[in-house]
Chains A and B, each alone.
Chain A
Amino acid sequence: MSQCDAIQESIGRWLDGELKATDSEAVRSHIAGCPDCGAARRRLEKIHSTFGGHLRAEASQLEFAPFWREVRRRIDEKRPWREDLFEWVQSQLTAPRLAWSVPAAIVLVLGLISFAKWPVDGQFSNYASVESIDTHGRNVALLREDETKTTIIWLYQDPEGENENVEEATKSGPAF
């Protein structure tokens, strides 16, 4: 890259006042002595002055009173609640807020997982599991009561007989 190329890359920042003092001085002194870079500077200034001048001229014709009347009319106008809701939803879906949705979703999932582990009032599950059982030769039946899910281990009174009081209960089958 030649010196002129490097200077022309920096002209914009120099005109914007965004260069350090030493760099700014280097650009200024180069432009003062270089026709090509001087022309580049003038082109850039022309673009800005033409564009800016046009817009400033337009804006200078804008009268405040009718403008304010229209703004006031909007403020005083009652909007349907759906529009307000839509605007609020739209305002939430901005990039910074969307970034929050990821951790929020993860926290929600973690919360649901932990919530599922603990019983909620009125929805207590009395589920129990029998890991091992040794009845020393006796017959045993495992039952589960439907509503509270209570597990019942019923030991028969002798190795061969059945207790008639649990006849119906055993018809419901083993607990597992």
Chain B
Amino acid sequence: MLEKALKGKHGYWIWIAVLFIVITIGFSFYLRQLDYGLGVTGMSRDVSWGLYIAQFTFLVGIAASAVMLVLPYYLHDYKAFGKITVLGEFLAVAAVFMCILFVFVDLGQPSRVMNVLLHPRPTSILFWDMVVLIGYLLINIVTGWVILSCTRKEIPPPGWVKPLIYLSIPWAISIHTVTAFIYAGLPGRNFWLTAIMAPRFLASAFASGPALLIVVCLLLRRWGNFDAGEKAIQALAKIVAYALAVSIFFVLVELFTVFYSGLPEHEAPFFYLFAGLEGHKNLVPWMWASTILAFGALIPLIVPPLRRRTGWLALACVAVFVAFWIEKGLGLIIPGFIPSPLETITEYSPTGTEIAITLGVWSAGLLILTLLYQIFIAVRSELHVTGDTFDMKR
């Protein structure tokens, strides 16, 4: 099937070329980082994680898109998702690939990355995160590819895929939980030290992942010669609406505990985020943008007539995506370091090099996504049986 990625229209090749250019630029900046060290980034002694780890955390959430399609389709026999589960799985593949790349570019000594396998430490959550992420990547590559191959041949998928698909459901929960545990188990970082971290991760993931998937489906319907079906898109939109509402609720719950208890060390990072702390307010406009986008998106997602309008839906989904890109990106990582354990406030802002490398990694992920989706659409358009009725489970 791979050869299908080599056939495409003019626009397809321009898009691929653009991605290649951005990847090349990113890579050349990465070579600079390799040579000089992580000092080329905005990270410092006090704020020792930045844009890379922020992208990693956010993208773990995007990988959730798969489970929100797989679960209704395989556990509840919700047929409208039949056509697009593979889209979710391929999106998860691209997202997890980016996650791994972002962790890799964040390493000070990338040549020693294999030490994690050579000297594994089961007490380290990072070790377990590697295990669950690689596992999730493999599960989604295998299931997505096998299902698509069988769709192409119009035969039912082999029996062994089913258990793997069922496994992918709890596994998707695990990648969020374990990633949240990286942060939520550190004694000195008050912003992260909360049991609601993992539930918050899950809720925001189930909003941002499907939101991106809706945007992708709308784009494919308009320009990509593939219709996911209005029923599937509307069902996804409802998932986004619920997950967004739950997500906002979880944040409010956290705010109550922090501010009603009045514990200064728990309050300080939130002051930094939303009001600024001792004149330091780099993230304040971003956080308010995120808040406004999240609440703003809630309205068109909840009100049925608005949700059914493609324009409103697309706008709401983009808003959800951007809102969580901020909230679960830099908005989550930076306040963990502010104030520092010694009560100092060090601001962080990414450097040009850091941004170029970040864009490079995103482009690499988008390239994989584009190739996989091109194959998917080519296979789909060759089918003799088309439309919503085709059931891949059979």
- The answer to whether A and B interact is no
A-binding residues in B (CB < 8 A): none
